[in-house]
C-alpha cells in the first residue's frame, strides 16, 4: 500500500481562493493515468493550514469516489493539537481514507516524550493506519530516529515520511524496520536506492509519469537508470524551492493549464522575478522523456 510515487497534491483554487472541484478531479484523473501510486489529500502542499473541515471532507470524498482501489489515499490529518488531530483522523477514516499522514505538531515544539504521547494517542484512537511525518524545517520540531522507532512498535503506526535529507538517518530507520517514504525530492532517488520504499513528492505534481517511473527504477535497484532520469529534473527541484511550498508548484501547474491561479493568504502568488525562469522550465518539461 505504501510503495512508489505518492503525490502531495496541491488544492486547486479559483482566483478568489475557492476550491475548484472540477480541477481537483482532473488532477486525480491525470495521476491515475500517469501511474501515480498514491495521493495525499490536504497535506501541507495542499494548504492544509487554510483548508476548512468542510473542504477537507469535500476533497477527500471526491478522491475516494474517484480513485479508491486504484491509488492509495492518504489524508493529511496532523495539526498542532492532539485532540484536533484525533478528530480529523476519525473523519478521514469515516470518509474512506486508506491511512492518515500525521505531521509533527508545529509551533508548540513538544519534546520527544511529548511526540511519543501525541502519536500514541492518535494511533490508539485511529481506525486507519498512521504514517508519521517529520519535516522540521516547517514545524520547528524534529522527530528523531530513535523516537520514530519507538513509535513503530505501535501496531497502528506503519511508516514515516522523512523529509530530512540525511542518508544516515534514513538508513537507521530502514535498518530499524520502519518503512520510509522520502519527503525530500532532490535526495529521494538515493534514499530509495538505499532502502526507502517510495516518496511523497511535490515534484510529482508536475511530472507524474516520470516520477512514477523513477520510483519504479529506484525501488527495484536500477541505479544507473534511476539516476539518469532523476538528473533531468535538478532544475525543477531547485525551482520548487525558490519560495515557500506550494507557491512555485502551483504557479507551474497554472502555467501548464492544469489549475487556476488561486492560493490562500498568507501565501501569495509567485514573485514576478521568477516568472521567466518558470516559463522556461515549463517549456523544457514539454519535451518528451523516454521512460522505458
User: Is residue 237 among the annotated active site residues?
Assistant: no
User: Is residue 133 among the annotated active site residues?
Assistant: yes
**What is the rounded CA–CA span in Å between residue 22 and residue 30?**
12
H helices present in 143-220, as ranges: 145-151, 167-175, 185-193, 208-219
H helices present in 157-259, as ranges: 167-175, 185-193, 208-219, 223-231, 234-239, 247-255
Q: Determine if the peptide bond prior to 266 is cis (ω within 30°).
A: yes
**Candidate list 161, 237, 250, 286, residue with the active-site label:** 161
163-189 in b/e form (b: 16+ CB < 10 A) is bbbeeebbbbbbeeebbbbbbbbbbbb
**Candidate list 3, 133, 233, 250, residue with the active-site label:** 133
User: Hey, what's the torsion of the CAs at 177, 37, 56, 63, to 10 degrees?
Assistant: -140
Q: Active-site positions?
A: 133, 161
Amino acid at each position: 500500500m505504501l510503495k512508489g510515487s505518492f503525490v502531495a497534491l496541491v488544492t486547486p483554487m479559483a482566483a478568489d481562493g475557492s476550491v475548484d472541484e472540477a480541477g481537483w478531479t482532473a488532477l486525480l484523473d491525470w495521476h491515475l493515468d500517469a501511474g501515480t501510486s498514491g495521493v495525499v489529500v490536504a497535506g501541507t502542499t495542499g494548504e492544509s493550514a487554510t483548508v476548512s473541515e468542510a473542504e477537507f471532507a469535500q476533497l477527500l470524498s471526491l478522491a475516494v469516489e474517484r480513485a479508491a482501489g486504484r491509488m492509495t489515499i492518504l489524508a493529511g490529518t496532523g495539526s498542532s493539537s492532539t485532540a484536533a488531530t484525533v478528530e480529523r483522523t476519525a473523519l478521514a477514516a469515516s470518509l474512506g481514507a486508506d491511512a492518515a499522514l500525521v505531521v509533527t505538531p508545529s509551533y508548540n515544539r513538544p519534546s520527544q516524550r511529548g511526540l511519543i504521547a501525541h502519536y500514541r494517542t492518535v494511533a490508539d484512537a485511529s481506525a486507519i493506519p498512521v504514517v508519521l511525518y517529520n519535516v522540521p524545517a516547517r514545524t520547528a520540531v524534529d522527530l528523531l530516529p530513535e523516537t520514530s522507532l519507538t513509535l513503530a512498535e505501535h501496531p497502528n503506526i506503519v511508516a514515516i515520511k522523512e523529509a530530512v535529507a540525511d542518508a544516515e538517518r534514513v538508513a537507521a530507520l530502514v535498518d530499524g524496520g520502519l518503512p520510509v517514504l522520502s519527503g525530500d525530492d532532490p535526495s529521494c532517488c538515493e534514499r530509495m536506492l538505499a532502502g526507502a520504499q517510495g516518496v511523497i513528492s511535490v515534484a510529482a505534481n508536475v511530472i507524474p509519469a516520470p516520477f512514477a517511473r523513477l520510483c519504479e527504477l529506484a525501488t527495484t535497484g536500477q541505479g544507473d537508470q534511476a539516476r539518469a532520469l532523476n538528473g533531468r529534473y535538478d532544475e525543477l527541484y531547485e525551482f520548487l524551492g525558490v519560495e515557500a511550498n506550494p507557491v512555485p508548484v502551483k504557479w507551474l501547474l497554472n502555467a501548464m493549464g492544469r489549475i487556476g491561479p488561486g492560493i490562500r493568504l498568507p501565501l501569495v502568488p509567485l514573485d514576478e522575478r521568477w516568472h521567466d525562469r518558470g516559463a522556461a522550465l515549463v517549456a523544457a518539461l514539454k519535451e518528451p522523456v523516454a521512460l522505458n
